[in-house]
A and B are shown apart, each in its own frame.
Chain A
Amino acid sequence: MRIKSLSIVLCLLVISLLFSTAGCGVKPASSGNQSLVVGEIWKIDNIDPATNGTLTMEKALITETLVGTKPNFELQPNLASEWQRIDPNTWKFSLRKDVKFHDGTTFNAEAVKWSLLRAIQINPQIVSFTKIKTVEAENDGIVIITTSTPNSDLPASLHYSNTSIIAKSSVDKDGKMIRPIGTGAFKLEQYDPSTGDLKMSKNPDYWGTVSKLDNLEIRALPDPNTRALALEKGEIDFTCDPPYNELARLEKVEGLKVELNKTARTYIIEMNLNEAPFNDVRVRKAMSYGIDRESIVKNVLFGCGEAAKGPYMPGMAWTNENLKGYPYNPAKAKQLLAEAGWQDSDGDGIVDHNGKPMRITLMTYPQRPGLPPMAEAVQAQFKNLGIDLKTEIMDSSAMSNIAAKGKWDMKMSAFATAMIPSPSYHLNILYYSKNNKVIGYNNPDVDRLIDQCMVEEDQQKKYALSKQVQQILEDEEPVLPIAYYGVAVAMKSRVNNFVFNPTAHDYMLTNEVNIKE
């Protein structure tokens, strides 16, 4: 019976809505003096910085974190002016003194303490990243953070957007988020929880350069085609990742510009190293030589990305730029396969070993639009080597589930390489024997070097250790890097001063962006 009364109420609601919407007209996308309307690429579930910090920090510019990064992923001061490690588990962060929250209250050590402890309560990932045990305010300008285990990546992990600092007035007395009140260049004015659309106005008291934009608006448009059409129509001024095959056309539309950039994410193929044929390094190298990365980037990704040589894209502080990668060489690939005992002995076009043909399955997921067609390209290229590859597209958590059970061959994903801007973070989760039992990579040298890299405090030495690991990975090829992840940014030509920041998760706006008069 509840349902029935519920639906009656809802029907009344509908009728009232019908009349209420009749009253309002179409508002132009850009109203006010200078405003920018952004077409966001994901649906917006919530605006809690502890779970959706990427939105509130990088896109809506409402919140900020203690630590910032330069475009080459080196750390730099942000809300914290400096930090130092007092002992292995204790850190001292000095805070900027000239910062105010959007509600006028002062940004201080108490606020940092409250905000970080709240974020840890909500999102278990923040504990995994930071290992924070306690946060104490020594005085107004100094925060002492202790960790449960030594974590030299604490400053790097406090750059992660979900650790954004917000004022206590962001939540009601039950601790429920009302709206994020941060320190950023823009203040949240309006949030529509049904559509996820956000409206911000500029923060005139911002501690950095005050934005020239008066308003910033974010509209959730998860469908790539719709985003492209909305940009063309002029409903939005800026967006990212329209369909790759639309890029060339959009570029020619008058009044629009398209930029191709790279971000810290790499398309990779992981293999089940516990099983044949992947336990043979010659087979892995053969497969790597057999993938035409240049052609994949050009024809599948429409130029949005770059052929990968190693785990990290060029330009990051710890990228080993000496890696040669595995340039396309099918002859060498066939030769390596033959050396490993894989030859087509029965003439059916598929290589075999001890009478067993090489038939393998490559799993991937559809949420990143480049993945399924890339898998098909690899399938076609492997066919030239005599490898019978089948592709399977499924939900990403179904894929991890199958892999966790141990009965799998290959899986392709787009793996973030700098969730935490640290030279050891990504290596640790993907290549450390204890952490990634799924792929079964076990190299004591790699484990030891990653351990050293994690505890080392000198940044330059950290980078050197990371580069050493990258070299071993190239020699052993436990994971096939395919391409660095490209981000296509499309905007109106009059959007001014947008500089792509490679540390962005998707795209990052700044207080510098404005509209050309």
Chain B
Amino acid sequence: MGRFICKRLAATILVIVAASMLTFGILHLTPGSTPATILKYAFIGLEEIPTDAEITEITTRFKLSDPLYQQYYRWIKQALRGDLGDSYVYRLPVAELIGLRFPATALLAVLSVTLSLLISIPLGILCAVKRNTFFDHFNRLLALFAVAMPSFWLAYLLIIVFSLGFNLFPVAGFRSLSSLVLPCVTLAAGMGAVTLRIMRSSMLEVMGQDYILTARSKGLYERSVIAKHALKNAFLPVVTVVGLQFGHMLGGSVIVETVFSWPGIGKLLIDSIFAKDIPVVQGCILLIAGTYALVNLLVDLSYALMDPRIRYGRES
């Protein structure tokens, strides 16, 4: 087990370095010269024409004329020392900037994933148990709607109904507990629908297995057949999907952050990509790739805990 974790951690670090290299390269391949773009987004205004003197000044200030590998080397050397550099646009240390934005993202991720699990897991199980009843069809239809609805549309709809109509929650902002509700519900709807369908189908598959038949023939109550025998096995694929969803959420959600003016990491990343604010993009990618890889590692570890076959297979 220890060796497994070490191996996975090493792979995680590799993933992060590769991701940072890729982003760095791709950023320079996107159209628009780097100093001109930085000037437009941070100094002179989007529609202004940068002068040659301004371009020269920005190029020297941010050392943009060096070959790419040198710029990358300089960045990674600094990053290894714990210094992620300063943002060109926000003019703050990148670590500080991310520290300002990531909590809002993490809070939303934790709460929306929890909310989606609280709804989808019990419903998914019930749908499987009451297969092909009205309850099952109804919930599956609901899930289909939730997954097919674009999140920005759902977000506006929720605002119109619950903010404007019932006056329950604020329209936008990150100021109080009640401003968490609508963004949370918006994100949870899409995720929950997926989880519900996977939970249901995985449960159905397990319930068709021989050992369930055995358990039933032993005379166990249906309730304990489901809770003790079926559930544990049916959870495996659900854990994978939920882990991926959670990792994805930690990368921020641009649309929901835009609609609700939520100060998250997703919008920060997108805005910084447009502005070619390279240190911020690199910092965000580092964080997102890191958390994603870490969540995946945790998912794999939880497999081993839940499924003895995986655990024994590794140890032998």
Contact = CB atoms under 8 A, between A and B. Distances in A.
Instruction: Verify that A and B bind, or say they do not.
Output: yes
A3 B104 contact: no
Interface in A197-254: 197, 219-223, 225-226, 229-230, 232-233, 235
Contact of B43 (A124, A194, A195): A124
A48 B91 contact: yes
Contact of B90 (A45, A223, A226): A45
Interface string B27-42: 0001111001101101
Interface string A1-44: 11110110011011001100110111100000000000000010
Interface stretch (B165-173, B216-224, B308-316): B165-173
Contacts of A197: 173
A10 B45 contact: no
Given A21-B176, A128-B53, A233-B171, A414 B103 contact: no
B66 interface: no
Interface residues of A, number: 63
B301 interface: no
Contact of A416 (B47, B90, B100, B101): B47
B110 interface: yes
The residue among A22, A235, A397 with the most chain B CB atoms within 10 A of its own CB is A397
B227 interface: no
Contacts of A195: 173-175, 261, 263
A232 B274 CA distance: 31
A316 interface: no
Contact of A124 (B13, B46, B54): B54
A58 to B, nearest CB: 13
Interface stretch (A285-293, A295-303, A398-406): A398-406
Contacts of A21: 107, 176-177, 180
Interface in B78-104: 80, 82, 89-92, 99-104
Contact of B176 (A11, A18, A27): A27
A24 B103 CA distance: 17
Interface in B100-119: 100-104, 106-107, 110
Interface stretch (B133-141, B143-151, B156-164, B188-196): B156-164
Nearest to B293: A3
A226 B164 CA distance: 12
B49 A400 contact: yes
B287 interface: yes
B172 A226 contact: yes
B199 interface: no
B123 interface: no
B219 to A, nearest CB: 45
B300 interface: no
A7 B287 CA distance: 8
Contacts of B156: 225, 229
A123 interface: yes
B258 A222 contact: yes
A497 interface: no
Contacts of A51: 42-43, 91
Nearest to A21: B177
Contact of B172 (A7, A230, A396): A230
A436 B58 CA distance: 21
A195 to B, nearest CB: 5
A226 B163 contact: no
B259 interface: yes
Contact of A226 (B45, B46, B99, B260): B260
B227 to A, nearest CB: 30
A419 B102 CA distance: 36
B242 interface: no
Contact of A10 (B90, B91, B102, B261): B102
Nearest to B81: A2
Central interface residue in B13, B40, B43, by most chain A CB within 10 Å: B43
Nearest to A51: B43
A367 B40 CA distance: 13
B171 A235 contact: yes
A369 to B, nearest CB: 13
Contacts of A1: 13
Interface in B14-67: 16, 30-33, 36-37, 39-40, 42-49, 51, 53-54, 57-58
A7 B90 CA distance: 22
Given A26-B170, A395-B31, A43 B48 contact: no
A4 B290 contact: yes
Contacts of A123: 43
Contacts of B31: 394-395, 397-398, 401-402
A396 B48 CA distance: 10
Contact of A232 (B48, B89, B164): B164
Contacts of B260: 226
Contacts of B102: 10, 13
A46 B91 contact: yes
Contact of A125 (B44, B92, B263): B44
B209 interface: no
B132 interface: no
B278 to A, nearest CB: 14
Nearest to B273: A395
Interface string B291-306: 1001000000000000
Contact of B261 (A3, A24, A222, A398): A222
8 contacts: A14-B106, A18-B107, A125-B44, A220-B261, A229-B163, A232-B164, A394-B31, A398-B32
Given A128-B54, A235-B170, 16 more contacts: A7-B287, A13-B99, A24-B177, A27-B176, A51-B43, A125-B48, A128-B53, A219-B173, A232-B164, A233-B171, A396-B46, A397-B32, A397-B36, A398-B30, A398-B32, A419-B48
- Nearest first, the 4 A-B pairs at minimum CB distance are A397-B32, A398-B31, A3-B290, A194-B100
